[in-house]
Amino acid sequence: MFFAKESGTGAAGAPLGRRFQLLLTSVTVSSLGDGMRFVALPLLAARISGDPRDLALVATMEQLPWLLLSLPAGALADRVDRRRLLVTVDTARTLLVAGFATAVALGAAGVPLLAVVGFLLGCGQTFYNAGWSGVVPSLVEPADRPRANGRLQAGALVADSLIGTSLGTVLFAVAALLPFAVDATSFASAALLMLLLPGGLPRRDQQPSEAVGPRGMRALFGGAGEGVRKLLRHRLLTALCLTATAVNLVMAGVTAVLVLYTRQVLHLGPLGYGLLVGAFAVGGVAGSLGAPWLVRRLGSTWTLLVTLTGAALVLGVAGLTSDWRWADLATACYGALTLAWGVTAVSIRQDLVPERLLGRISMAYQMLANGGMAVGAMLAGLVAHAWGLRAPMMGGAALLLVITPGLAWVLRDPKALAQQVAPAQAATGSSRLAPEPAGVE
């Protein structure tokens, strides 16, 4: 049977606390610069080269670190103060993007440099996400996590894909270096805000023996594979991970060729590209904030299945149309459905995984899920070059439809139902997802 509707979620208007609000501000500020870079980097690549394979190369290099660094990043995040890790990463990204803005100003930015910078920024994002994996569980009670995750996603989307992309398009038209200069400033501001967070973000159950020293480093890399082993032993987490891999593969593929799709299929300029990304953001904000409501009304299972099926259908519409109005509408719906799916899946993962394993398991999950983005970006470039710019969207829609029955099969399995209660919930006798405790141990 499918999950029953959950009960026991936090009050819709209950405050999440000052520390969470400071964290939300840091994410929002950083995301503003990310949105400018997100739109400016492909625009710069398209100015340098009109070959979709070159654009796909840049996008692939940004995602490649997920495959290479996720496991050690997750193990590191389980052993250090996560605030220190986040501040260090944002400081390094500030210097990197500032240097790249200088190269753009001097006219020295070619496709190889874009690929290298994209790769280094991807490395930073991998370690940053590893630090983030335990932040919400450290600050928010289990019942409030869907709402907290929804607010983080919504804040990031408003700043990133709605305001940042629109402003980035305008600034790029003025001077190509401006979006990257603002991105560097946003990283610096986010690092400063994290420094203001009182108390840091250490793991509550961390033991002195887990400190990162000479012996700790050996244990760190020796235990990096533990997250993969734990993940693969848990049927539902594995199913969610494989589904997220497919969702991200499709999204990265569409994103990699979107600027050329906007130009050659919809016959729009840079502003049209910014509006298309903005439509995704508007839908994504609605999906992020609406995910807790969907979970309360439908239950986690039906929320996952309905949003995944809907995303496939609207992506097919986007692939078929040549009218920018239908494309914008389909893109907005796609953003709403995929973000609602993501918020629900992330909240389930946080419920299932104990804090002592959260970094390792989350990054093993993201190694596969976000690693799919590297594969999707490169495949999209090849597919678009061979069969046209509509093909990545149509192929992505077909893939999402094909994998939905598999996820439904796992979710109806009684053995999967028995794995839904996180250890923390079991200890308090509270269950939002299933009747008996069997979290990841």
Domain residue ranges of the chain, discontinuous segments joined by +: 18-199+224-421
pLDDT at position 8 over 60: no
pLDDT, residue 24, reads 82
| pLDDT tens digit sequence for 105-157 | 998 888 889 999 989 988 988 888 777 766 777 777 777 777 777 777 777 76
> Has residue 393 got a pLDDT over 70?
yes
Q: Look at residue 399 in the predicted model and tell me its pLDDT.
A: 95
Q: What is the pLDDT of residue 42?
A: 81
- Give the pLDDT of residue 300: 85
3-state secondary structure of 5: coil
Helix (H, G, I), strand (E, B) or coil at 437: strand
CA distance 70 to 77: 10
Local confidence band at 200 (pLDDT 50, 70, 90 cut-offs) = low
**What percent of the chain clears pLDDT 90, i.e. is strictly above it?**
21
For residue 94, pLDDT over 90 is answered with: yes
Nearest Cα residue to 295 out of 423, 146, 408, 148: 146
Residue 207 predicted with pLDDT over 50: no
pLDDT at residue 367 greater than cutoff 90: no
- For the chain, the average pLDDT equals 77
**Is the model more confident about 423 or about 309?**
309
The answer to whether residue 36 scores a pLDDT higher than 90 is no
Q: What is the pTM of this model?
A: 0.65
What's residue 59's pLDDT? Answer: 79
Which of 82, 77, 88, 79 minimizes the C-alpha distance to 215? 79
* Predicted local confidence at residue 134, as pLDDT: 67
Mapping DSSP onto H, E and C, the string for 141-175 reads CHHHHHHHHHHHHHHHHHHHHHHHHHHHHHHHHHC
Confidence band of 202 (pLDDT split at 50, 70, 90): low
Q: For the chain, how far is it from start to end, CA to CA, in angstroms? A: 25
High-pLDDT (> 70) share of the chain, %: 80
Fold type of domain 18-199+224-421: Growth Hormone; Chain: A; (1.20.1250)
**CA distances (Å), origin 21, targets 12, 49, 128, 314, 326:** 16, 42, 19, 34, 37
pLDDT: which is higher, 5 or 351? 351
Q: Which residue has the higher pLDDT, 333 or 168?
A: 333
